[in-house]
Amino acid sequence: MAGHKAASASSKKAAATEPSTAHKRKRDVDTAHTASTPSPTKKHKKRPSLSTSPVENDDATKKRRKLKDALQGDDSPKKTGKESAVSPKRSKARAADSHDRVSEKRKKSKKSKRKTSEDDDGAADESEAVNGEPMDIDGADTKEPSDDDGEPQPTKNKHSGIMSKFERTKTVASAKAKKKPRAPEPEEEVTVEPVVAQGLEPLPQPENPPEIEETPTYSSLPAWLANPLRTSAAARSKFADLGIKPDLLRILEEHNYEEAFAVQSAVIPLLLQGEENHPGDLCISAATGSGKTLSYVLPMVTALPARPAPRLRGLIVVPTRELVKQARETCELCGAGSRLRIASAVGNVAIKDEQKLLMRMEQVYNPAMVEQRQRGLQGNEWMDFSILDCIDEAMNSSSTLPGHIRSPETNVDILICTPGRLVDHIRYTKGFTLKHLEWLVIDEADRLLNESFQEWVGVVMDSLNERYAPDAWGPAGKFFAQMGLPIETKAPQKVVLSATMTRDISKLNSLHLENPKMVIIGTEKAVVDEDPSATNQDANFTLPATLHEHMVTVGDGSQKPLYLLHLLLSHINISADLRAPQPASDTSDSDSSSSDDETSSEGTSSDDDTSSSGSDSESDSDSSDSSSDESSDAEESDADSVALVPNIGPPRTTVLIFTKSSESASRLSRLLSILHPPLASRVGTIIKSNKSSASRKTLTAIRRGQLSVIVATDRASRGLDLPSLTHVINYDVPTSATTYVHRVGRTARAGREGSAWTLVAHREGRWFANEISKTLDGRIVRASPIDRVQLKVDALGSLKAKYAAALDELEQEVRAG
Ligand SMILES: Nc1ncnc2c1ncn2[C@@H]1O[C@H](COP(=O)(O)OP(=O)(O)OP(=O)(O)O)[C@@H](O)[C@H]1O
């Protein structure tokens, strides 16, 4: 019983321990396989130990044998003890199951081993070669323990491929080892056969073009503004070399234009048809009095042949009436004998009178319109109805050709006008159109673009664009449109000029310039000083090289009239001019102006009725010229046709004095007369309150040598061309560098000598130094620096008493009205 219990206990214990034993056995099997499964990393570490450590080798062999026995059911003392505790049936099943799993794993293991060994042939072969004898990677399976006899198993044949690889590798390695110490072979002598070109000689190649180093530009201006065409102000050339026609050359010669000035030499070839022609618009910046007017008038007159039926083909826009007249005189001079019809339009003439001069009625073939008129107006057609047209049509119907209508057309080839009056004609003159325009000149462009003048730029640009509308070309245009053909019309050649040219691209863009080119006439200093990154505010202005500038300090400015008088008498020496014999006095004022007008009319082109200047004397009306600036300009500088009045007598001293306002100009002229009575009959004014006839008389008188001093406002600062003017005095400092340049530019014109004097009070000194007289980095480029003049105060002492009396007299006059 005790034995049975013991047996039963032993049986229970065995049953209780069985799972752990089985698990242990299974782990052993796995471990054995894992150990024998080569992995690329393990292989290199373990393989040497296989051959070098026999102890380990024995252990592994023992393990493998144990595993084999376990799989085959071999008895071993330990195993037998344990097996006896397990039921034979379960043990058998477990053994069979275990065997299946192990054999499956072995198969897998072999497969992967074979694959790995194939992949790593090189590495395996190498390690085998190192050991000196072929090693079986499969250790446990392939190198079966030989038991007693030690004979190799037939399974070894399976690795014959590996063996052969090993042999090959060995052979290659030994061959490499032999090769290493090989001495360098002696070089064979190479004989080069001579090359026969046989007509395949290389063609001569051109030399590589020189590499152009591009310097980056940081200018904010477009290329055409940043890189202008520059010409020295000293350049001169013959008119004949510029492509001017012989008949024009003859005219120039007659008027003593011997050689072309710099601006004319640069610009005329660009505008005339020829090799140097610039296919685009031009912006021209050149000093005052440098001859800009002739530089555009000559090419324009050359390019516009006279036509039996005039069309408006040339338009010159300038800011003041005085400039209109000067430009017109130059046009008439150059267009003499060409039969071109030249006219001007300014605000002092009633627009209806001007319309009669500028327009004509023409018979135009338009059967559609004739038919429309015959059947009567329908629908929207009433919108265009005009009773005046209807009356005109009825009165002239007998003389109208069949299928034709009477249509108003411009009757001039070249028109010179102020912007305000141009806008009036575009808006209110029937048939006035710019669609035929071939030349558009904008002189004193910076001023015209800075001020609105009834938004003239937009109105003119819109009118120019009309040419692209089929309707603008009547039945022919409509026919083209129906055929799907575009209206082929060329944009006019635009020429934009100023002595103080703007570089404000937004303003220039408003003119819709095409392929523009900037031409700058200036000294080398201007080229060096100009900052490429400059904007319009930094544009440099060049003064005439023949201009001498002076600055006169006048203390606090309270005694400026005395300083002025002292300057006139001692430095400018006006007294000598006053003592000189006077030219014969002119007739009455009215006669003077009318005779000027007649002279102007005679100087016009073929048809006198195109000369609108003839009506200047008839009316000073500025009614439709509503632009206040322009209107006032015109009032002040309305000096009719003075350029045609020849300068009489020897060269004299003539002075133009600028003041800040009309009031101070008129007071100053009176004060000078009181202070120095000999001046009384020699002083004139050009001021706002002057009637146009008064201004005209003043300018005529100075041209005739009857006046020595003109006191004027800035209205006279632009465009006034008085060849006799020798001195300009800035009694009041100008408001800007631009104004200064135009004021002093009234003298030293066309290569003549001239002097400019500026009276500067203490409080104005800093501004004057920074804006006007600065030579380094200054905006104004001049040939020589401004001369500083100190007037002797002692000399003023004697005048002081006179001055006090003169002020009293003036005060009484003002009170008296
Ligand atoms: N080639 C020339 N030879 C001699 N005199 C000339 C020549 N060209 C122009 N002039 C004269 O030079 C003077 C100035 O010309 P113009 O009025 O055209 O100058 P400007 O450059 O337009 O000046 P501003 O900018 O002040 O209006 C005029 O009296 C003109 O007759």
pLDDT of residue 715: 84
Instruction: For residues 376-383, give the mean pLDDT.
Output: 69
**Beta strands, E only, 522-582:** 541-542, 547-553
Most confident of 103-117, 455-469, 641-655: 455-469
Torsion of CA 526, 532, 537, 541, to 10 degrees: 10
pLDDT > 50? residue 599: no
User: Is the per-residue pLDDT at 443 higher than 60?
Assistant: yes
Atom 26 (ligand 1): residue with closest C-alpha? Answer: 288
> What is residue 301's predicted lDDT score, i.e. its pLDDT?
95
pLDDT > 70: what percent of the chain? 61
**Does pLDDT of 708 surpass 70?**
yes
Residue 368 pLDDT more than 90?
no
Q: Residue 426 in contact with residue 463, Cβ under 8 Å?
A: yes
Banded model confidence at residue 709, pLDDT cuts 50, 70, 90 = very high
One-letter amino acid of 257: Y
pLDDT at position 186: 61
Query: Tens digit of pLDDT for each residue in 720-761?
Result: 899 989 999 999 999 999 999 999 999 999 999 999 999 999
| The pLDDT of residue 804 | 85
The reported pLDDT for the residue numbered 588 is 35
Q: How far is the CA of 16 from the centre of ligand 1 (A)?
A: 131
Distance 295 CA to ligand 1 centre (A): 9
pLDDT of residue 11: 44
Consecutive H or E run containing 285:
strand 282-285
The edge-to-edge listing of strands for the beta sheet with 517-521 is 229-231, 517-521, 282-285, 493-498, 439-442, 314-317, 414-417, 342-345
Tell the residue number behind the tokens 């000067």, with chain if given.
326
Q: Residues with beta carbon inside 6 Å of ligand 1?
A: 257, 260-261, 264, 286, 288-294, 499, 719, 721, 723, 745, 749-750
Please name the helix (run of DSSP H) or strand (run of DSSP E) that holds residue 283, with its range, or none: strand 282-285
Q: How close is the Cα of 715 to the center of ligand 1, in Å?
A: 19
Check if the beta carbon of residue 616 is closer than 8 Å to that of residue 348. yes
Determine the average pLDDT of the residues in 149-175.
73
Close Cβ partners of 675 (under 8 Å, ≥ 6 residues apart)? 561, 562, 565, 799, 802, 803, 806
The whole-number pLDDT of residue 811 equals 86
pLDDT attached to residue 104:
55
The strand ranges marked E within 294-341 are: 314-317
Atom number in ligand 1 closest to CA 330: 31
Q: Could you tell me the pLDDT band of residue 101, with boundaries at 50, 70 and 90?
A: low
More confident residue, 379 or 141: 379
The residue whose CA is least distant from atom 10 of ligand 1 is 291
For 37, 46, 50, the CA distances from 56, given in Å and listed in that order, are 16, 11, 7
CA of 442 to the centre of ligand 1 (A): 16
Alpha-carbon distances, residue 492 vs 314, 460, 461, 489, 791 (angstroms): 9, 12, 11, 9, 54
The per-type count for the chain, helices as H runs and strands as E runs, is 31, 19
Gap from CA of 602 to ligand 1 centroid (Å): 22
**First CA to last CA distance, the chain:** 165
- The helix/strand/coil state of 380 is helix
From 242, 259, 292, 293, the mutation candidate for ligand 1 (largest count of ligand atoms within 8 A of CB) is 293
Q: Determine the residue of 290, 644, 725, 740 to mutate for testing ligand 1's pocket, defined as the one with the most ligand atoms within 8 A of the Cβ atom.
A: 290
Q: Ranked by mean pLDDT, which of 96-105, 119-128, 254-263, 792-801 comes out on top?
A: 254-263
pLDDT-derived band at 59, boundaries 50, 70, 90: low
pLDDT in tens, 108-149: 545 544 544 444 444 444 444 334 444 443 433 444 444 444
Instruction: Give residue 157's pLDDT.
Output: 63
498 Cα–ligand 1 center, Å: 13
Q: Give me the pLDDT at residue 258, please.
A: 94
What does the mean pLDDT of the chain come to? 73
Ligand 1 centroid distance, CA of 634 (Å): 21
3-state per-residue secondary structure call for 768-797: HHHHHHCCCCCCEECCCCCEEECCCHHHHH
Q: What is the pLDDT of residue 120?
A: 43
Q: Assign 320 a pLDDT band (cuts: 50, 70, 90).
A: confident
Each residue of 667-702: pLDDT tens digit? Answer: 999 999 998 999 999 999 988 765 666 777 888 888
User: Percentage of residues in the chain with pLDDT exceeding 90?
Assistant: 36
Residue bearing the bigger pLDDT, 481 or 768: 768
The number of the ligand 1 atom at minimal distance from the alpha carbon of 263 is: 21
Higher pLDDT: 56 or 203? It is 203
Residue found by looking up tokens 């009293």 in the block: 808
Among 72-76, 505-509, 572-576, 782-786, which is the least confidently predicted range? Answer: 72-76
**Cβ atoms 560, 657 nearer than 8 A:** no
pLDDT tens readout for residues 211-254: 877 766 666 788 898 889 999 999 999 999 999 999 999 999 99
Of 106-110, 146-150, 154-158, the poorest mean pLDDT is in 146-150
The neighbour count for residue 126, using CB atoms within 10 Å, is: 14
In this structure, of 45-59, 175-189, 193-207, 334-348, the range with the lowest mean pLDDT score is 45-59
The whole-number average pLDDT for the span 498-511 is 91
Beta strands in 349-488 (DSSP E): 359-365, 404-410, 414-417, 439-442
- Tell me the CA–centroid distance for residue 545 and ligand 1, in Å: 15
Atom of ligand 1 minimally distant from the CA of 260: 1
Residue-wise over 569-601: b if at least 16 C-beta within 10 A, else e? Answer: beebebbebbeeeeeeeeeeeeebbbbbbeebb
Asked whether the predicted pLDDT for residue 21 surpasses 60, the reply is no
pLDDT at residue 692, rounded to an integer:
63
Judge whether residue 25 has pLDDT over 50.
Answer: no
